């Protein structure tokens, strides 16, 4: 036994019994307080999240329309999803939109973050300016973009056939306007994450590489990008997951049109489940969509974290 342990043992033996009992009582009260703080959150989460999910999964095996009677239909809803051209088109659009928007968001965000991390005048002011889109209501901004694409842009670019008319009515290119809005709004959050990563890189690395004659591009590929690999992974995973669930920009700009050319999976689930009498069918679609997003996210983590290890 060390001297410190002996002193502690002696102090514990000499401690008055009442004081020891009071310490144990206070410890139990503190533990009880922690439980009372946690349990309400657990109960609320179970009541408003877990229970509805379980009920939704249950109804996905029925023909429930959202009202009236229902019967069990087994896996027929799931089988019919893979035969539904509208569902397949919605998945195709969602993935195309998500991939393009994710690439553009991360390219623009990283470039802007590097600029905001440099020694420029009014740096904090510009950081605040670029974060503004994230705190604005997407539906409100969506209607502003809708006016821009449908009224202002055709007048500004009247000489270009693609933009001479309202691009939102073009079933081939309307999705690009949604991408523009989504990327503009999403870059703000991604910039903050990249800025956090860039500020963890010691400036001495850049100074040493400059003395060795490294070009700015070489510094980026050999120092900057490898050292912010974890932040890049977070941004890509969050971006792709969020863009796959795109809803508000579509509602604000095209409402899924022209026709169903810009209808995402979430918009299809909302329309069919809440107003189309397809509650059980679209609930099955939501279950499949959840599984797809989970698989995609796990695959991204696996691939991107392996790339971090390679660096």
Gap between the Cα atoms of 78 and 35, Å rounded: 41
**pLDDT value of residue 181:** 93
- Nearest in space to 239 (alpha carbons), one of 289, 178, 300, 195: 300
Gap between the Cα atoms of 308 and 311, Å rounded: 5
Q: Is the Cα dihedral 163, 166, 167, 171 positive or negative?
A: negative
Looking at the chain, how many residues does it have? 311
One digit per residue, the tens of pLDDT, for the chain of length 311 reads 555 444 455 544 555 555 555 656 655 666 677 777 788 888 998 999 899 889 989 999 999 988 888 899 989 999 999 999 999 999 999 999 999 999 999 999 999 999 998 888 887 888 888 888 888 888 888 888 998 998 888 888 877 877 778 889 888 999 999 999 999 999 999 999 999 999 999 989 888 988 888 898 999 999 999 899 889 999 999 999 999 999 999 999 999 989 899 999 999 999 998 888 899 999 999 999 999 999 999 998 888 877 665 55
Give the 3-state secondary structure of residue 4: helix
Instruction: Name every residue whose Cβ is closer than 8 Å to that of residue 207 and which is 6 or more positions away in sequence.
Output: none
């Amino acid at each position: 036994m060390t001297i410190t342990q002996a002193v502690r043992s002696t102090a514990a033996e000499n401690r008055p019994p009442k004081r020891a009992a009071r310490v144990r009582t206070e410890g139990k009260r503190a533990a009880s307080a922690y439980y009372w703080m946690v349990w309400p959150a657990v109960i609320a989460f179970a009541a408003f999240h877990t229970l509805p999910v379980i009920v939704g999964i249950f109804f996905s095996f029925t023909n429930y329309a959202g009202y009236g009677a229902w019967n069990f239909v087994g896996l027929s809803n799931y089988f019919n999803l893979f035969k539904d051209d509208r569902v397949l088109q919605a998945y195709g659009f969602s993935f195309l939109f998500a991939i393009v928007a994710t690439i553009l968001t991360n390219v623009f965000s990283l470039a802007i973050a590097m600029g905001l991390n440099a020694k420029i005048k009014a740096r904090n002011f510009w950081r605040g300016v670029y974060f503004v889109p994230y705190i604005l209501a997407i539906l409100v901004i969506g209607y502003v973009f809708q006016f821009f694409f449908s009224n202002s842009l055709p007048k500004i670019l009247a000489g270009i056939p693609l933009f001479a008319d309202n691009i939102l009515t073009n079933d081939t290119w309307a999705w690009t306007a949604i991408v523009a809005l989504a990327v503009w709004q999403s870059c703000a959050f991604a910039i903050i994450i990249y800025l956090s990563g860039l500020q963890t890189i010691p400036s001495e690395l850049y100074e040493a590489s400059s003395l060795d004659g490294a070009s700015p591009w070489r510094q980026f590929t050999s120092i900057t990008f490898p050292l912010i690999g974890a932040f890049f992974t977070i941004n890509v995973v969050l971006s792709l997951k969020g863009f796959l669930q795109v809803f508000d920009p579509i509602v604000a700009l095209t409402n899924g049109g022209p026709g169903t050319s810009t209808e995402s999976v979430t918009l299809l689930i909302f329309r069919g489940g809440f107003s189309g009498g397809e509650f059980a069918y679209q609930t099955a679609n939501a279950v499949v969509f959840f599984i797809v997003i989970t698989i995609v996210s796990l695959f991204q983590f696996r691939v991107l974290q392996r790339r971090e290890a390679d660096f």
